[in-house]
């Protein structure tokens, strides 16, 4: 049976505009995860984050909302809101390594705080109508606590466990520790997903060959750099002309959506620059392409520049 492929959540990149455009054009991704939503200090949720979980912006069948919470109380409030919106799944973030998140006891900070993980998972899994998954790193400064975290996972009814085997202090540096992942894979009762640094079908094949029992993989930057990656892994064949049209469509749908929903060239160009920071890897002259886009501040200039560039995709 085919392994599953999930698109990783990347704040600022895999927003609803990207997810919907991607899903309209490309095959191969089985589920999409929203970037995390989180409470502000005053208990509100920013409108940009709310947009990510609203039913009108999502195909609710294949989108899992991700939450960043610090305890059972926040979890309860988040889940009330998500269930009211009609969500039937939730993913809990135990991995975000960013300072402001960690300082407030959320994300990867929880990996040093097993009581809070227990509290959060208890509250979440008590809701029988909700499927609960976790996405986790393997520690804060080292992996010493991770076996006890696994015991907590195994004590709850989790739909899936997704592991990105980096410790938080690593941020995104160095490599994901695939050997560590293989050493703990058998200990996890829930269906298991590997995440981290897969950017080619050969790398995917290597992961699956070494740990054939995993349910699938989650891929982030590899798909942003090559939107065909999931199709290539699943053996979906495309002609060059088809591929060129898909690349152009992905770009155009995203541009159209941002142009309709955002006001002012600066905002639109900021979103398009973020998109191109990965998408430019599709083009032989990646650095030149990205440099030109970064410099461009006006949407009309951008339009003139972009079409020859898109057509240069071979
Ligand atoms: C800019 C950026 C934003 C991210 N935002 C999130 C997020 O909101 N939630 C989350 O669980 N992981 C987030 N991640 C981590 C990714 O989901 C993923 O675990 C990581 O990039 C490793 O996978 P990859 O090598 O396939 O990209 C983010 C990563 C980056 C680089």
Q: Where are the domains of the chain?
A: 4-233, 240-311
* Rounded CA Rg of the chain: 20
* Ordered per-residue pLDDT tens for the chain, 314 residues: 689 999 999 999 999 999 999 999 999 999 999 999 999 999 999 999 999 999 999 987 899 999 999 999 999 999 999 999 999 999 999 999 999 999 999 999 999 999 999 999 999 999 999 999 999 999 999 999 999 999 999 999 999 999 999 999 999 999 999 999 999 999 999 999 999 999 999 999 999 999 999 999 999 999 999 999 999 999 999 999 999 999 999 999 999 999 999 999 999 999 999 999 999 999 988 888 899 899 998 988 998 889 888 887 77
CATH number of 4-233: 3.20.20.70
Residues with CB under 6 A from ligand 1: 8-12, 35-36, 66, 93, 95-96, 135, 164, 172, 195-198, 219-222
Q: Tell me, what's the pLDDT at 162?
A: 98
Give the DSSP letter string of 217-241.
EEESHHHHH-TTHHHHHTT----HH
Q: What is the CA(21)–ligand 1 centre distance, in A?
A: 19
Closest ligand 1 atom to residue 34 Cα is: 8
**Ligand 1 test: best mutation among 7, 11, 13, most atoms within 8 Å of CB?**
11
CA dist., res. 25 & res. 246, Å (int): 7
Q: Tell me, what's the pLDDT at 313?
A: 79
| pLDDT tens, residue by residue, 276-304 | 999 999 998 888 889 989 999 898 899 88
Q: Tell me, what's the pLDDT at 2?
A: 85
- Other beta carbons within 10 angstroms of residue 250's beta carbon come to 21
55 alpha-carbon distance from chain centroid = 18
Q: Tell me, what's the pLDDT at 1?
A: 62
| pLDDT tens, residue by residue, 78-111 | 999 999 999 999 999 999 999 999 999 999 999 9
Q: Tell me, what's the pLDDT at 69?
A: 98
């Amino acid at each position: 049976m085919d392994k599953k492929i999930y698109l990783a959540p990347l704040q600022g990149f895999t927003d609803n505009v990207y997810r919907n455009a991607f899903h309209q054009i490309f095959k191969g991704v089985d589920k999409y995860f929203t970037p995390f939503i989180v409470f502000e200090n005053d208990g509100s949720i920013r409108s940009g984050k709310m947009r990510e979980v609203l039913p009108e912006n999502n195909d609710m069948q294949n989108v899992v909302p991700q939450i960043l919470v610090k305890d059972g109380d926040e979890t309860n409030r988040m889940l009330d809101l998500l269930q009211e919106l009609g969500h039937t799944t939730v993913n809990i973030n135990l991995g975000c390594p960013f300072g402001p998140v960690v300082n407030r006891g959320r994300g990867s900070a929880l990996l040093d705080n097993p009581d809070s993980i227990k509290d959060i998972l208890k509250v979440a899994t008590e809701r029988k109508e909700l499927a609960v998954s976790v996405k986790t790193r393997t520690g804060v400064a080292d992996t010493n606590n991770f076996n006890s975290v696994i015991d907590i996972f195994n004590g709850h009814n989790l739909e899936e466990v997704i592991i990105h085997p980096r410790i938080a202090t690593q941020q995104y540096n160095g490599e994901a520790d695939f050997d560590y992942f293989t050493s703990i894979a058998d200990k996890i009762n829930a269906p298991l997903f590997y995440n981290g640094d897969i950017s080619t079908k050969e790398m995917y094949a290597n992961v699956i060959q070494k740990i054939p029992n995993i349910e699938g993989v989650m891929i982030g930057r590899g798909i942003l750099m090559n939107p065909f990656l999931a199709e290539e892994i699943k053996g979906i064949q495309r002609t060059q002309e088809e591929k060129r049209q898909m690349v152009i469509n992905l770009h155009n749908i995203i541009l159209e959506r941002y142009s309709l929903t955002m006001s002012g060239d600066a905002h639109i160009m900021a979103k398009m620059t973020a998109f191109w920071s990965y998408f430019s890897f599709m083009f032989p002259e990646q650095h030149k392409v990205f440099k030109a886009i970064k410099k461009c501040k006006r949407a009309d200039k951008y339009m003139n520049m972009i079409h020859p560039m898109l057509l240069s995709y071979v």
